[in-house]
Chains A and B, each alone.
Chain A
């Protein structure tokens, strides 16, 4: 079965640079989420999209932005990178039914290292 695809899998950037992470959801899933997991931490919700519209926003810095495109893939753009942005970034997808998100499936993650 098709899974969530994320690219790149690893990324090394310097401080103040920008980064773009991509996510391709499971076919026919209409909702995409982004989570950030710091070292030794639990995943923290950043932002989600339903049918290409922003659905909910969590602890996402103003330096980050995201969007979902017409083919349902999503991109997370990160600017003015800081050392503290080093983390594992997960994308997840699900179906929404009657306003409630069903089971979320996670991609393999992008490991971002800021030096």
Chain B
């Protein structure tokens, strides 16, 4: 099955810093999503981005499907950005999401 690898596993930032999170996947995919899991456990949709670039406020994402990777950019980080960021891709059957292990982000003031 498809393998999803995220890096770095952990990231510690000061408030105001920028960061880039990476997601590599082992096969072509029809769907890629980025999520933020907050400290209360909620999974919040950030981007649905099978290819191309999208921006939403301080966050943006780029997926290069032909090279099998996606990047999530966080600019001017805030303490509320803390949590785990997951990348997930649709399996080959197109019926379930396969998650990476996540990047744990800690932003301190």
Contact = CB atoms under 8 A, between A and B. Distances in A.
A binds B: yes
Interface of A: 33, 35, 42-45, 48, 50, 55-56, 58, 88, 90, 92, 99-106, 108-109, 111
Contact of B33 (A42, A104, A108): A104
A60 to B, nearest CB: 11
B86 A42 contact: yes
B94 A101 contact: yes
B30 A100 contact: yes
For chain B, which range describes its interface: under 10, 10 to 19, 20 to 34, or 35 or more residues? Answer: 20 to 34
Contacts of B91: 45, 56
A56 to B, nearest CB: 4
B67 to A, nearest CB: 21
Interface stretch (B20-28, B37-45, B54-62, B69-77): B37-45
Interface of B: 30-31, 33, 35, 41-43, 45, 48, 86, 88, 90-91, 93-102
Contacts, number: 59
A33 B43 CA distance: 14
Given A56-B93, A103-B31, A103-B48, A43 B41 contact: no
Contacts of B86: 42-43
Given A44-B99, A50-B95, A100-B90, 16 more contacts: A33-B97, A42-B100, A42-B102, A43-B86, A48-B96, A55-B95, A88-B41, A100-B30, A101-B90, A101-B94, A101-B95, A101-B96, A102-B48, A103-B48, A106-B45, A109-B43
23 contacts: A35-B97, A42-B99, A42-B100, A43-B99, A45-B91, A45-B96, A55-B95, A56-B93, A56-B95, A56-B96, A58-B96, A99-B94, A101-B94, A102-B48, A103-B31, A103-B33, A103-B48, A104-B33, A104-B97, A105-B45, A108-B41, A109-B41, A111-B41
B8 to A, nearest CB: 15
A86 B2 CA distance: 27
A100 B96 contact: no
